[in-house]
Structure 1
Amino acid sequence: MAFSAPTGRDTGSVLDDRSREIFRRIVESYLETGEPLGSRNLSRLLPMSLSPASVRNVMSDLEELGLIYSPHISAGRLPTQTGLRFFVDAFMQVGSLSEDDRASIDRQIRPANRDQPLESLMAEASLMLSGVSRGAGIVITAKSDPVLKHVEFIRLEPTKALAVLVGDHNQVENRIIELPAGVTSSQLTEAANFLNAHLAGQTLVELRSELAQLKDKVQGELYALSQDLVERGLAVWSGDAEDGKPSQLIVRGRANLLQGLEDTADLDRLRLLFDDLEKKDSLIEILDLAEKGPGVRIFIGSENKLFSLSGSSLIVAPYRDGEERIVGAVGVIGPTRLNYSRIVPMVDYTAQLLARLSR
């Protein structure tokens, strides 16, 4: 399994075995408990015999290198974002996914039947990833252009109607559209019947092309109304994905990010994260981040500008269609204190599974 990450300052060459061991213990304790580790407790954990005073000297050297810091005077030490990056690059062992984890993912994401919408599988993947992390599971996917099975227009107001579209995998999308002046309910029914009779079984792209070809063959008010309704409502079903960029974000487990937050500054940063996730530009940027390296990528805190203000970490991997084009991304967003070694192989396997299900 491949995973890549932005590389920072090479500090490995200046650390001896004792310094590396002390640093590793501080980071592992932080990832497990979130609490600072003091010199007295650390001296009891080390495989070599070192006094608390000697440990403090080493910690001071690590602090000068920017790998750890003290949150309070006389407190223990926590890793900095630079330290976490160094730990991920130099110490973290990413093994293969266990059989139990693999079976659990398969059970949660495998389609229950052949007609199950792909969107529901994406939601299951996002929910599963949120469950194994202390963060939010995310799946980004481009809206597909499914084959249409049925079209219906339901009048809501004199100038508004609900366009109901049913796709080949039972995807259902509803759009409120503006009606041309003077359109009656019976005309809406006739227009829907016209589209279902002539155009059902095609994608929306094919539908628009077919309408253009029908223009010279079918004349009259019925055709004009049908074409107008398509332009007003049906075409927008796939319009967001016309540029090839993802237009749908599925997030599960946002409540995980709220756990243990009491500080106002932490809550403000979390609100910034949620605001970022609502922006379409953010979705495109997450996908761009996933595309820039092979396999799973890890971004810690301010290493990417997208979540720099909220100080969140991102573990992300792209998934591809049958033609090896990147069509989406899957991952976890959360605090810097994530179980990286466990989450990385799960994100990697989930991306592979979604790729197979998308083909």
Structure 2
Amino acid sequence: MLDDRAKLLLKALVERYIADGQPVGSRTLSRATGIELSPATIRNVMSDLEELGLIASPHTSAGRIPTALGYRLFVDTMLTAERSHMQTPTLAPDQPQKVIANAAHLLSDLSHFVGVVIAPRRSSVFRHIEFLRLSDRRLLVIIVSPEGDVQNRVLFTETDYSASQLVEASNYLNHHFAGMAIEQVREKLLAEVESLRGEIATLMQAAVQVSTEALTQAQDNVVVSGERNLLSVSDFSSDMGNLRRAFDLFEQKAQLVRLLDSSAQAEGVRIYIGGESKIVPMEELSVVSAPYEVDGLVVGTLGVIGPTRMAYDRMIQIVDITSKLVSNALSHK
């Protein structure tokens, strides 16, 4: 446990380092806190904070910088509960995909870092399936989800199916399986395959397979905006290795999904600080994220990714406001 003096100095150090990006010395701390402490007293407290792993001393400077643990303590216990007023922008709810893209841009524009939004997961349930003959042994499978999303896949078959066979197969699937998850359809179809004519059963199994692939590929659509903002962040612009690793992360959509999904089950804004855990793959990055809802149900996650040296109180506001805007824009009033 830290006493009030140590907390005050740590808070001042973190805030000064966030603002300037330079190691903070005892003289700067004395001015920042506005309390009369001798340089020796401040140095002693700094030494204690360093022993606790809350701050560190770069080898090139007499000043100190916060560690991941120091940032965490600052975020969890020292951020002011007062929120400065932010002018609330609007997100037009005309098209869900446009709302998601606009939200990513909004996060980026307000934070001056990287905005990331995981689009709502589409249902793996199909409402309707249809076959269209393209040529000999080449079919177009049309899959419609309950939300009206349409996925098309070309299916190559060993048999040249007639128009009546295609109608028979689609009618059977729509009559018996519409409204079921595609995984359930596969299981039930395997159980019923003996009662179906061989070529029709083969066609339906192939159709279910491509439907699974189509619906799976539609999942986890990640929208990223503002990657170039990191070019103006000194923490990255001065180290091409850090910048390259950050851009690699943004290209690896699956890793971004895992990163933001960590907060999908939590209420409110969550903060993940680089170097603190394996959730954030880079020590120099932090993530501020929150889930958003459609009609009261959590369907996706959004957030800001930026340097560990970021103004966390402002990022919390930005992410919190944007998650509420997205929820309102996507929900049916």
Cross-structure match for 2:114: 135
Judged with a 3 Å threshold, the aligned counterparts in structure 2 of structure 1 residues 284 and 264 are, in CA distance, closer, same or farther, namely: closer
Cross-structure match for 1:90: 77
Cross-structure match for 1:247: 220
The within-5 A match list for 1:1-359 is: 10=1, 12-13=2-3, 15-16=4-5, 19-50=6-37, 55-96=42-83, 98=85, 100-101=87-88, 104=89, 107-108=90-91, 110-112=92-94, 116=95, 118-133=96-111, 134-139=113-118, 141-145=120-124, 153=132, 155=134, 163=141, 165=143, 171-177=149-155, 179-181=156-158, 183=160, 191=166, 195=170, 199=174, 205=181, 227=204, 230-239=207-216, 247-260=220-233, 261=236, 262-267=238-243, 269-270=245-246, 273-274=249-250, 277-279=253-255, 283-284=257-258, 286-291=260-265, 293-322=266-295, 325-356=297-328, 357-358=330-331
Whether the aligned pair in 1 keeps the contact of 2:289 and 2:304 (CA below 8 Å) is yes
**Structure 2 unaligned residues grouped into runs of 5+:** none
Whether the aligned pair in 2 keeps the contact of 1:272 and 1:309 (CA below 8 Å) is no
The one of the two structures with greater contact order (alpha-carbon pairs below 8 A, sep at least 6) is 1
Residue type of the alignment partner of 1:93: T
Aligned pairs, how many?
321
Whether the aligned pair in 1 keeps the contact of 2:260 and 2:302 (CA below 8 Å) is no
Whether the aligned pair in 1 keeps the contact of 2:227 and 2:247 (CA below 8 Å) is no
Whether the aligned pair in 2 keeps the contact of 1:313 and 1:334 (CA below 8 Å) is yes
Where 1:61 maps in the other structure, the secondary structure is: helix
Whether the aligned pair in 1 keeps the contact of 2:119 and 2:222 (CA below 8 Å) is yes
CA RMSD of aligned residues (A): 4.3
Question: For each residue in 1:160-191, what CA deviation from the matched residue of structure 2 results, as whole angstroms up to 9, or x when unmatched?
Answer: 665555667664434344x112548xx58994
TM-score, length-normalised on structure 2?
0.73
Question: For each residue in 1:204-252, what CA deviation from the matched residue of structure 2 results, as whole angstroms up to 9, or x when unmatched?
Answer: 749959x97xx99xx98996687356324334333579xxxx6333333
Residue type of the alignment partner of 2:121: A
Where 1:295 maps in the other structure, the secondary structure is: coil
Provide the C-alpha distance between the structure 2 equivalents of 1:239 and 1:172, rounded to a whole number of angstroms: 13
Whether the aligned pair in 2 keeps the contact of 1:295 and 1:317 (CA below 8 Å) is yes
Compute the displacement of 1:88 (Å). 1.0
Provide the C-alpha distance between the structure 1 equivalents of 2:79 and 2:293, rounded to a whole number of angstroms: 27
TM-score, length-normalised on structure 1?
0.69
Where 2:309 maps in the other structure, the secondary structure is: coil
Provide the C-alpha distance between the structure 2 equivalents of 1:189 and 1:77, rounded to a whole number of angstroms: 77
Whether the aligned pair in 2 keeps the contact of 1:127 and 1:253 (CA below 8 Å) is yes
Where 1:334 maps in the other structure, the secondary structure is: strand
Provide the C-alpha distance between the structure 2 equivalents of 1:188 and 1:338, rounded to a whole number of angstroms: 62
Whether the aligned pair in 2 keeps the contact of 1:140 and 1:329 (CA below 8 Å) is yes
